[in-house]
């Protein structure tokens, strides 16, 4: 995947903390630290969206939908 250069503005305290992490070899450089932070935030937002959408589901309806037709299929399942 390609990369693009962007300019960002951080407050002084955040930049100092970021630089401390780079000096401590937690990240190889500022760019990598910011890339990982953005990726992590995007993943979290994606997961929270999924959770919000799942919360909209009606559990009784979903259970009925999942169980629909199972009684007919049970006789066809192999014995273990």
In percent, the amount of the chain with pLDDT more than 90 equals: 48
Q: Enter the pTM of the model.
A: 0.59
Q: Which helix (H) or strand (E) holds 22?
A: helix 12-23
DSSP, residue by residue, 25-79 = TSSSSHHHHHHHHHHHHHHHHHHHHHHHHHHTS-HHHHHHHHHTTHHHHHTTSPP
Our CA dihedral for 33, 34, 39, 41, rounded to 10 degrees, sits at 110
Residues 9 and 11: their CA atoms lie apart, in Å, by 7
Residue-wise pLDDT for 31-51, tens only, equals 999 999 999 999 888 888 777
């Amino acid at each position: 995947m390609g990369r693009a250069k962007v300019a960002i503005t951080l407050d002084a305290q955040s930049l100092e903390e970021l630089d401390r992490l780079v000096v401590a070899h937690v990240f190889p450089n500022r760019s990598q630290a910011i890339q990982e932070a953005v990726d992590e935030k995007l993943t979290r937002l994606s997961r929270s969206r999924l959770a919000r959408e799942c919360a909209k589901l009606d559990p009784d309806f979903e259970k009925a939908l999942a169980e629909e037709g199972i009684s007919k299929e049970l006789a066809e399942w192999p014995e273990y």
